[in-house]
Amino acid sequence: MCCSHSFEDKPLPGQKPEAFDISAVKGMKFFDPHVHMTSRTTDDYQAMADAGVVALIEPAFWLGQPRTGIDSFRDYYSSLVGWERFRSSQFGIKHYCTIGLNSREANNEALAEQVMEILPLFVYKDGVVGVGEIGFDDQTAAEEKYYRLQLDLAKEAGLPVQVHTPHRDKKHGTQRSMDIALEHGLDPYTVIIDHNNEETVKEVLDRGFWAAFTIYPFTKMGNQRMVEVVKQYGSERIMINSAADWGISDPLAVPKTAALMKLNGISAEDIELVTYRNAITAFAQSGQIDEADFGVNIDQSAKFEGNSILRGGQQPRVDKSSIIIS
Amino acid sequence: MFGYDREALQGELATIIQNNITTDAWAWLSQQGDITNTASFNATFAMMPRKTGKGLIHIAPEQAEQLNTIRPGFTIEGWTADRLGRVYLMLQADAIDQERYFAVIENLFLAAEMNELVALYSALPILAYPELWVKRCAEGIRSNIGSVLEAIMYYNPYPAEYLPEAAWNQLVMKAIFTDKQLDLITGLNERNNPELARILMDFARERGAAGRSVVPELWHLASPFTDAGIVNAVKQQYSTINTIN
Ligand SMILES: [Zn+2]
């Protein structure tokens, strides 16, 4: 997850968001390249599938409180490639992940050392499309050390890198992240710089990196601002994600932003690039993404067969307007 | 250590794999399996699909029969190349050092993704020290992932051969709860027992009370150990609420 900010300085949601009209983008396919499904309910998968999300990437990150032992890292990484991927598949959404040690937890060096030892066991796994999300939070020496080590790991494994940029001192942290990636000999075309804003996007694109934008209420990009960014910078090497996690966030941010772009006259072609195609192009450099895997078994009866999110005999779709629970 | 002719199985599987993956992939795979180099063994296991692909294995009827002769009940039909490659890798692992062998393979289970789990549970009938994997197998039955359960339940001779009765009964009940095809479970009739019949009849009454149906195989399994009158009485309960299956 990415809201490593504190809660005190965050305005509480005031008014209700505008009603989301999916019809503007009905029939379109979306790829959310950054969403922390571990912290979402199964209902969210259902809503995402209904809104056209056919695939997603879940980056390894912080669960809200520090992990105290190596086993909880192992279990977390295992859940990303195991249970979470299965849960996603039950809704016809192809689930990929990126694996890494996040910047916050790099500051516990004794534990970080142990994590570096088990990372090779996970980065080669099927469906792991990158090393991520890694980078800076506080911009400490320890964060830099493990960022560098993981860049080397990504290079060795031939995987793209998903870089989390810091909330505080963002512009400097973003520049530093790019400098270090280049120093380690990474091709900027294999590096996705995430959580950009109006202040960082130009340099990221100019230097040949991918620029990802997180549509996240109150703290990161709003989607009205996002529309303006695409109007100004076009659609090349730009991608949009929700980074939805355990905070007040929205797993439908990608389709909603697509709808808003449509209403604001952005071309269907550009919308497709920033909400679907670019993320695939960037992360497919891992050799782990095959579009033929998207949306398979979309048939409801087949999709839910043998699945155990549903308890004995429960039907896959529940009519929420009914008072009867059978 | 193995309880079957391991070398014969290695030879047979090698031929089948060579027919199903590229020459390059085979050149790579045939060099793997050094369990004393854990990091490399782990990486080989994880990256298998990148080398072998995930295509369905083709196998001649004679080959299938040959496998079944070497290791009764063992089949690879319907497997993908990566699944077979992973099982072959484990078969290559030197099992002399029991402690290391167990630790390395158990660690693969602990860090496995779904397809890896399928391969690992598929390997149970051919692993060394079969009695060592009983707890692991019972743990696998607690999985909520359909494909993993199927790897344990379908065409897998290990559970029927090694699970104690309680764990076996859990396997059957889990299969019923998750709508699995009971007829694909190896040893279903051979391992049928009075305790399972009691559990099944209780389950049938519970389902009846909830107005739900049960699979017809339930009656078949319960009947040999249950008074015919009781079976009929429970069935009768179903007919009155009209949900008999
Ligand atoms: Zn995140």
- Among B114, B115, B180, the residue with its CB nearest the CB of A306 is B180
Which of B 103-122 lie inside 8 A of A, CB atoms?
Answer: 110-117
Any CB–CB contact under 8 A between A67 and chain B? no
| Closest CA in chain A for residue B108 | A121
| Closest CA in chain A for residue B115 | A126
pLDDT in tens, B117-141: 999 999 999 999 999 999 999 999 9
What's the CA gap between B186 and B198, in Å, rounded? 21
Q: What residues in B contact A122, CB-CB < 8 Å?
A: 46, 111
What pLDDT score does A64 carry? 85
Any CB–CB contact under 8 A between B146 and chain A? yes
What's the CA gap between B117 and B86, in Å, rounded? 10
Any CB–CB contact under 8 A between A120 and chain B? yes
What pLDDT score does A218 carry? 72
What pLDDT score does A299 carry? 42
Give the residue-averaged pLDDT of A246-266. 94
What pLDDT score does A217 carry? 80
pLDDT classification of A4: cutoffs 50, 70, 90: very low
How far apart are the CA of A283 and the centre of ligand 1, in A? Answer: 16
What pLDDT score does A168 carry? 86
Whether residue A108 is predicted with pLDDT greater than 50 in this model: the reply is: yes
What's the CA gap between A63 and A164, in Å, rounded? 15
Any CB–CB contact under 8 A between B142 and chain A? no
Whether residue A15 is predicted with pLDDT greater than 70 in this model: the reply is: no
Q: Which amino acid is at A235?
A: S
Give the residue-averaged pLDDT of A196-200. 93
Helix spans in chain A (H): 42-50, 70-81, 83-89, 103-106, 109-123, 141-157, 170-183, 201-206, 223-233, 253-263, 268-272, 278-283, 300-303
Q: Range with the lowest mean pLDDT among A60-69, A84-93, A97-106, A154-163?
A: A60-69
Q: Going by C-beta distance under 8 Å and a sequence separation of 6 or more, which residues neighbour residue B84?
A: B13, B16, B17, B20, B52, B57, B76
What pLDDT score does B236 carry? 80
- Among A118, A308, A312, the residue with its CB nearest the CB of B144 is A308
Q: What is the ipTM of this complex?
A: 0.79
| Closest CA in chain B for residue A287 | B50
- Chain B closest CA to A159's CA: distance in Å? 13
| Closest CA in chain B for residue A310 | B178
pLDDT in tens, B14-32: 999 999 999 999 999 999 9
Any CB–CB contact under 8 A between B46 and chain A? yes
pLDDT in tens, A290-307: 999 897 654 444 444 344
Tell me which of A326 and A154 has the higher pLDDT: A154
Percent of the residues in chain A that have a pLDDT greater than 70, as a whole number: 84
pLDDT classification of A311: cutoffs 50, 70, 90: very low
pLDDT in tens, A139-179: 999 999 999 999 999 999 999 999 999 988 899 999 999 99
Instruction: Output the DSSP codes for B168-218.
Output: HHHHHHHHHHTT--GGGBTTTTTT--HHHHHHHHHHHHHHHHTT----THH
pLDDT in tens, B65-87: 999 999 999 999 999 999 999 99
Q: How many CB pairs under 8 A join A and B?
A: 66
Q: What residues in B contact A86, CB-CB < 8 Å?
A: 114, 144-146
- Quick one: how far is CA A69 from the chain centroid? 25
Give the residue-averaged pLDDT of A259-283. 96
Whether residue A208 is predicted with pLDDT greater than 60 in this model: the reply is: yes
| Closest CA in chain A for residue B179 | A306
pLDDT mean across residues, chain A: 87
- Chain A closest CA to B101's CA: distance in Å? 17
What's the CA gap between A231 and A200, in Å, rounded? 16
What pLDDT score does A66 carry? 85
Q: What residues in A contact B116, CB-CB < 8 Å?
A: 125-126
Percent of the residues in chain A that have a pLDDT greater than 90, as a whole number: 76
Q: What residues in A contact B209, CB-CB < 8 Å?
A: none
Give the residue-averaged pLDDT of B162-185. 95
What pLDDT score does A3 carry? 52
Q: What residues in B contact A84, CB-CB < 8 Å?
A: none
What pLDDT score does B149 carry? 96
What's the CA gap between A82 and B146, in Å, rounded? 12
| CB–CB contact A122 B111 (8 Å) | yes
What pLDDT score does A302 carry? 41
Any CB–CB contact under 8 A between B183 and chain A? no
Whether residue B229 is predicted with pLDDT greater than 50 in this model: the reply is: yes
What's the CA gap between B243 and B245, in Å, rounded? 6
What pLDDT score does A20 carry? 63
How far apart are the CA of A33 and the centre of ligand 1, in A? Answer: 10
How far apart are the CA of A249 and the centre of ligand 1, in A? Answer: 11
The order of strands in the sheet holding A191-193 is A30-32, A53-59, A94-99, A128-135, A161-164, A191-193, A210-214, A238-241
Give the residue-averaged pLDDT of B91-111. 96
pLDDT in tens, A168-195: 889 999 999 999 999 999 999 999 999 9
pLDDT mean across residues, chain B: 94
- Among A86, A124, A313, the residue with its CB nearest the CB of B43 is A124
- Among B49, B113, B146, the residue with its CB nearest the CB of A82 is B113
What's the CA gap between A76 and A251, in Å, rounded? 20
Any CB–CB contact under 8 A between A129 and chain B? no
Closest CA to A63 of A36, A95, A86: A36
What pLDDT score does A37 carry? 98
pLDDT classification of B210: cutoffs 50, 70, 90: confident
What pLDDT score does A2 carry? 59
Any CB–CB contact under 8 A between A325 and chain B? no
Which of B 66-95 lie inside 8 A of A, CB atoms?
Answer: 82
| CB–CB contact A121 B111 (8 Å) | yes
Give the residue-averaged pLDDT of B229-241. 78
Give the residue-averaged pLDDT of B87-100. 97
C-beta atoms surrounding B71 within 10 Å: 19
| CB–CB contact B178 A78 (8 Å) | no
Pairing of strands A128-135, A161-164: parallel
Whether residue A316 is predicted with pLDDT greater than 60 in this model: the reply is: no
Six-digit token string for A162: 């998903």
What pLDDT score does A157 carry? 95
| CB–CB contact B46 A125 (8 Å) | yes
Q: What residues in B contact A82, CB-CB < 8 Å?
A: 112-114, 117, 145
